[in-house]
Amino acid sequence: MDIIHLLPDSVANQIAAGEVVQRPASVIKELLENSIDAGATEIQVVLREAGRELIQVIDNGKGMTPTDARMAFERHATSKITQAADLFALHTMGFRGEALASIVAVAEVELRTRRPEDETGVLLRLAGSRLEKQEVVACPAGTNLEVRNLFYNVPARRKFLKSNQTELSNIMTELQHVALANPEVGFTLTHNDVQMLSLTAGNLKQRLLQLFGKTISQQLLPLDVENDLVHISGFIGQPEGARKKGALQYFFVNDRYMRHPYFHKAVVECYQELVAEGAQPNYFIYLKVDPSTIDVNIHPTKTEIKFENEAARWHILMAAVREALGKYNAVPTIDFDQTDAPEIELLDSRVSRPVAEPTTSFDPHYDPFRKSPVMDHWETLYEDFGKAPERLSSRMSAGAGLYGALSPEQTVSSSANSSSSVLPSRMSTVLDTTPDYSESANTLIPEGRPEKRTFRKYLQVANRYIAASSHEGLLLFDQHRAHAAVLYDRYYQQICNRQGISQQELFPEMVEIAPADVPVLEQILPELGYLGFELDSLGGGTYAVNGKPASLDKGVDFNALLLQMIDTARDEVHGIGSELNRKLAGRLAMAQAIPAGKAMCEEEMCQLIESLYDLKDHTYGPDGKLIAVQLNLADLETRF
Ligand code: ADP
Ligand code: MG
């Protein structure tokens, strides 16, 4: 007996749907693209329960005739191509004729559509690929498609949907792609009757402002290069705006969002010398190419695209980005940090590094054969800062620091005495400015502490490490990690005990949160509250900052910090609970901790190391890296 038969359409469609419709966000993408292809200038999206219950897209596009509306739900039914050759001249987002057929195979669908030139429209109701109702209706011109109970007939799929927040965040991402590709189209998004997004039609810069807020849109450099192969436009971010996580990176080709790891590398390479290690630039790059030179037919979800002449285009892209960066003059000429740092560092160790561009000054009376070379250093230093020594020392938080213990005069005189011809001058400076241990050692030994804590004195090395002598030898602490570990412990307790301390703001600032970030932020608002972030939603992605984490350093960019917190949570969406708490506490601790390069006074160092040893675990920082290294006496002996 023959056993092979053709599958009924409804089953075949359901199988095919697996490719196209994976989650509510895929439905949104397909429907939005259809509306764009239909020439819509205003598109409304309405959702219930993150798309589980309802996904509705209403457009003012060209609509369909009743017959076309019926046809639209058949597999491989499309108005966009008629022959294979058309695949190479695509000017539309869709072309497979698969989306509506797939959607209607796994959901209940209601369509109202009318062409502007027709008097009446048509209503179709379908479920599981079957037409249930068709009637003539009065409706606005355009298309209104409701998709209800997605996967109602595929329980396994429905079960695999993630939390509402995650699905909503995915939907936002898809909507963002379409909204960025079509700034001249207006969009609104309503979820459970709350309007989450309203984007008015405008130009790209306005769209970026609406989607990502002022900070990012003020840091953009325009791109504009045109030749036979490609037209490149859009914006790249200034190097200062680069982020370690969650950088906004978008490529569009012929107004279609795409991922392109190879082109991505071209952009990132241009920034290599300009941003901190691991930081990534923002970019919104639009490529226009002859459609016959690309192949968008690689994957049903169509985000990967093959280019002809990829290498040549790669170079053009790189040149365009370099040019934009060059115009902005972002390339530093000399790295002042590298020039003979140690000598300056040591003398400079009580003053934080100036943030402004370094300036060079010279002393016209300088005589290299004068007796006291160290004295010259002090003078140059003060000249550089334009401040007298007294002023400098008064800026220190405590008089007990190196500065208070030693006046410049002392330094000079002891230096003059001891700078024997045997030691190179740098070495002698180091030795001479080292405070006298014997005098103050006793006061620094904390009473009743275990032996391992009885460090005698702290010395800051290169404004980065804290050196301490212990019984076993020499300990070097990374100041940033040590402080981060202390803060982490405090923050983690705050979250776990559900009690935070925040500093109330007299005049709350507003922060704008990108639409895709809003669901993530909403999800972690309680945890953020325990960490001291008091945020009140004012709707539309705007939040009033009523409180900030107590003792937040003034130098910390609050907006950037909040974005980092959101990025951290985004990575943890599946692991809500203790992991998320740890990550959030860690992120805040890293942001708040004393940075490398910051001068610390003796008392601060002492307090820090004390607090560190009060922790249960003082071996690793919140980033999992070692806080301290020890050179024990045996190690040291081998070096002499
Ligand atoms: P494709 O977009 O690949 O052609 P779809 O299944 O998404 O396939 O849509 C099938 C057809 O239905 C489209 O080719 C188009 O003619 C019509 N259509 C779909 N959505 C709309 C809309 N919002 N407005 C007008 N026509 C539409
Ligand atoms: Mg389509």
Give the pLDDT confidence score for residue 456 in this predicted structure: 59
* Averaged pLDDT for residues 161-177: 91
pLDDT in the model for residue 327: 84
538: pLDDT confidence band, cut at 50, 70 and 90? Answer: confident
Share of the chain above pLDDT 70, in %: 78
Instruction: Please tell me the residue having the least CA distance from ligand 1 atom 21.
Output: 34
Most confident range (mean pLDDT) of 45-59, 319-333, 414-428 is: 45-59
Predicted local confidence at residue 634, as pLDDT: 84
d(CA 555, CA 541) in angstroms, rounded, equals: 25
Tell me the C-alpha distance between 264 and 258, whole Å: 11
Kindly indicate the confidence band of residue 389, based on its pLDDT and cuts at 50, 70 and 90: very low
- Closest ligand 1 atom, CA of 59? 23
Return the pLDDT at 298. Answer: 63
pTM of this structure: 0.63
Please report, as a single letter, which amino acid is at residue 638.
Answer: T
Section 191-220 average pLDDT? 91
Residue-level pLDDT at 414 = 35
| DSSP character string of 400-453 | TSHHHH--HHHHHHHHHHH--SSS-HHHHHHHHHS--HHHHHHHHS-TT--GGG
299, pLDDT greater than 60: yes
Mean pLDDT throughout 583-603? 88
Q: What angle is formed at CA 34 by the lines to CA 31 and CA 39, rounded to 5 degrees?
A: 130
Q: What tokens appear for 443 in the block?
A: 């006061």
One-letter amino acid identity for 156? A
Q: What is the DSSP string of 336-369?
A: GGGTTHHHHHHHTTTSPPPSSPP-----TT--TT
Q: Which atom of ligand 1 is nearest to the CA of 95?
A: 3
Q: What angle do CA 562, 564, 566 make, to 5 degrees?
A: 70
Q: Residue 182: which pLDDT band, with cuts at 50, 70 and 90?
A: very high
DSSP state of 46: E
**CA 36 to ligand 1 center in whole angstroms:** 10
Residue 183 region by backbone torsions, left for phi larger than 0, else alpha for psi between -120 and 50, else beta = alpha
What is the distance between the alpha carbons of residues 99 and 101, in angstroms, rounded to a whole number?
5
User: What is the pLDDT averaged over residues 303-308?
Assistant: 83
Sequence-separated (6 or more) residues with CB below 8 Å from residue 487: 588, 589, 592, 593
Look at residues 407, 428, 403 and name the one whose alpha carbon lies nearest to residue 417: 428
The alpha carbon of 51 and the centre of ligand 1 are apart by a number of angstroms equal to: 20
Residue nearest atom 17 of ligand 1, based on CA coordinates = 72
Rounded to whole angstroms, the Cα distance separating 163 from 374 reads 65
* Residue 302, φ and ψ in degrees, nearest 5: 55, 45
Mean of the per-residue pLDDT values of the chain: 79
pLDDT number for residue 453: 53
pLDDT of residue 430: 30
> pLDDT tens digits for 402-441?
333 333 333 333 333 333 333 233 332 233 333 333 333 3
**Cβ(281)–Cβ(236) below 8 Å:** yes
Lowest mean pLDDT among 205-219, 422-436, 611-625: 422-436
Question: Measured in whole angstroms, how far is the alpha carbon of residue 55 from the centre of its chain?
Answer: 29
Q: What residues have a C-beta under 5 A from ligand 2, the ion?
A: 34, 94, 99
pLDDT at 440: 35
Closest CA to 515 of 89, 129, 199: 199
User: Which ligand is closest in space to the CA of residue 40?
Assistant: 1
Written as six digits, the tokens of 22 are 């994976």
What pLDDT is stored for residue 103 in this prediction? 95
Most confident range (mean pLDDT) of 218-227, 419-428, 446-455, 503-512 is 218-227
For the ranges 6-20, 356-370, 543-557, 601-615, the lowest mean pLDDT is seen at: 356-370
pLDDT score, position 346: 33
Q: 51 - beta bridge partners?
A: none
What's the mean pLDDT in 287-313?
A: 83
pLDDT confidence band for 239 (50 / 70 / 90):
very high
26 Cβ contact partners less than 8 Å away, ≥ 6 residues apart: 20, 174, 301
Between CA 325 and CA 281 the distance in angstroms is 12
Cα(99) to ligand 2 centroid in Å equals: 5
For ligand 1, atom 27: residue with the closest CA: 34
* Whole-Å CA distances, 147 to 57, 110, 128, 259, 289: 9, 7, 12, 28, 35
Q: pLDDT band at residue 49, thresholds of 50, 70 and 90?
A: very high
Q: Which of 35, 74, 78 to mutate to test the pocket of ligand 1 (most atoms within 8 A of CB)?
A: 78
Rg of the chain (C-alpha set): 32
> Which residue among 19, 29, 34 is best mutated to probe the pocket of ligand 1, counting the most ligand atoms within 8 A of its Cβ?
34
What is the phi/psi pair of residue 475, to 5°?
-110, 135
Ligand 1 atom closest to the CA of 34, numbered from 1: 20
Give ligand 1 pocket residues (Cβ under 6 A): 30, 34-35, 38, 59, 61-64, 72, 77-80, 94-101, 143
